[in-house]
Amino acid sequence: MPNTEYIITLCDGPSCIHKGSRTVKDALEEAIAKHNMQDKVKIHLSGCLGMCSKGPIVIVNPGYTIYGSVTEADAAEIIEQHLINGKYVTRLVVDEDHLYNRFFRIFGDNDFFGKQMRITLRNCGIIDPENIDDYLSLRGYEALAKVLTELTPKDVIDEVKTSGLRGRGGGGFPTGVKWDFTANAPGDERYVICNADEGDPGAFMDRSAIEGDPHTILEGMAIAGYAIGSTKGIVYIRAEYPLAIKRLEKAIEDASKNNLLGDNILGSEFSFDIEIRLGAGAFVCGEETALIHSIEGSRGMPRPRPPYPSVKGLFGKPTLINNVETWANIPVIILDGGKWFSSIGTETSKGTKVFAVAGMVKNTGLVEVPMGTTLRNIVYDIGGGIEGGGKFKAIQTGGPSGGCLPEEYLDTKVDYESLAAVGSIMGSGGMIVIDEHSCMVDVAKFFLEFTQDESCGKCTPCREGTKRMLEILTRITQGKGKPGDIEKLERLGTMAQRSSLCGLGQSAPNPVLSTIKNFRQEYEDHIFNKKCVAGVCGALLTYTIIEKCVGCGACKRVCPTNAISGTRKQLHTIDQDACIKCGQCYDTCKFEAITKA
């Protein structure tokens, strides 16, 4: 074996853990011990690398060779072939020979990484998130030291303004302006809050950023504390994220031990502490005022604004609230300059954006791209196209409050204004790819079910408006739609958008209104033709046995209502009046002799 020390990095994010990464780690350790290589090889756990569809991920250095879909049985082969014989285990190789430069772009042959630019996720998958020394080795807390020794609070705020950074939680408000408002608000006590209450279906950007690089969040918050004159920070995170909470707790403990949090940080006159507050998982608590009420011990419900939290927030004091991704950008802006950061992206949307790409796309996972990248680039170049070779139908951006965009909008640039112009939103970064096997009426119903269930009930337009809309959608998908239902949905949706108290109610109708706009024919098919072309809405399906039937009787045996009749080895038939559209016959038939339409 060459006289080389190897570092094996094993993704320890939730997706890889779910797929068995911990057993892979045990198998790697066993193989290392078998060959007496304990002094030559170190196993290093990291946060999510982003390639969730390829997990568990194992990376071997030197060389940065990425192995994907590694099983417990593959571990010994990686040790013997790669580390001892110096040969790649080619069947497992995902990518290799990447280089990281100071601008955090990853170069290589693989489209998944080669077309990204990672700023928020710059350390995720690289460092051990539970080892502060790893973070320090990559310029960690250097930005905090810089502001404490070289910059005034005003200098820091000006640098953030220069960067053009906008809030990544969905609203897109200029971050530097928000900091300035809070710094200049009257009061002798201020708070800094990290909003980590990420609850969108299919979204896991903030959770993964914390799990992979918790110190960068703490550093960003401490810098903001210095800039606005605050000594107290709070991370509000939902209790369903135990791994993120564990790593945050460890990071806060280690930072405090190293005088990077606490009293007189790095010998300066600046003191700043951070604590964690757990949320119960209410989606509405992602809204700033509802979040504040929750921290104060009240029910998480929004209040009218103004006054804004920057003026009157937590316990009535000026409060600065940003989400995880926004905080992660701050150390980079301080170190490399606001001007450099503003050179990335578009005229009105600067920097990069992290997306959780899910649904019917080959490469599901986390991606980070410069603002201005098109949806087509994300779906086909980075995402690898539609899973199973299917046909693209729509992409839903912005979480449950976003819009569903058809193929004609695939060349839309990802920035705040461009997405809004075509009827969707940036949101916090959820992105779900939909293929032709999905029913858009059912998709709209799914998202409205979520937002209606998560409505706090405080204001009538949201509480009652979304409920009435959901009732109409449910009726349509059950084959009971009536003429005029589409128009009712449009009126109710517009009313909720214009008059709801907070962002949840104002954006909840988006999936319904955007699908009506872009896929109106599907609504009309459901209502007037009583057909679901995608074959999803069971009540609208008709199951028919065709000539391929060999008369095996399998469908007849599983039918719960005895709707199928026929003699053995003869063509069977389905009594449509008795059929309850359960689909068991369709799923059971091995001869493709049953159709649904």
553 φ/ψ angles, rounded to the nearest 5 degrees: 85, 5
Nearest CA among 430, 450, 446 for reference residue 438: 446
> Which domains can be identified in the chain, with CATH numbers?
6-97 (3.40.30.10), 132-341 (3.40.50.11540), 352-435 (3.10.20.600), 440-529 (1.20.1440.230), 541-596 (3.30.70.20)
SS3 426: coil
Segments in 229-284 forming alpha helices (H): 242-257
Nearest CA among 428, 469, 451, 433 for reference residue 507: 451
Nearest CA among 224, 222, 225 for reference residue 140: 222
The predicted pLDDT at position 245 comes to 96
SS3 250: helix
Element (H, E) at 448: helix 440-454
SS3 592: coil
Give dist(CA 277, CA 193) in Å, integer: 10
> pLDDT tens per residue, the chain (597 residues)?
445 589 999 998 888 999 999 999 999 999 999 999 999 999 988 888 888 889 999 999 888 888 999 999 999 999 999 999 989 999 998 854 443 433 334 444 456 777 889 999 999 988 999 999 999 999 999 999 999 999 999 999 999 999 999 999 888 999 999 999 999 999 999 999 999 998 787 778 899 999 999 999 999 999 999 999 999 999 999 999 999 999 999 999 999 999 999 999 999 999 999 999 999 888 899 899 999 999 999 999 999 889 999 999 999 999 999 999 999 999 999 999 999 999 999 999 999 999 999 999 999 999 999 999 999 999 999 999 999 888 999 999 988 888 999 999 999 999 999 999 998 988 888 899 999 999 999 999 999 999 999 889 899 999 999 999 999 999 999 999 999 999 999 999 999 999 999 988 899 999 999 999 999 999 999 999 999 989 899 889 899 999 999 999 999 999 999 999 999 999 999 999 999 988 899 999 999 999 988
Full DSSP string of 376-417: HIIIIIIS-SBGGG--EEEEEESGGGSEEEEGGGTT-BSSHH
Nearest CA among 350, 503, 517 for reference residue 422: 517
Count Cβ neighbours within 10 Å for each residue of 353-370 and write b for 16 or more, e otherwise.
Answer: bbbbbbbbbbbbbbbbbb
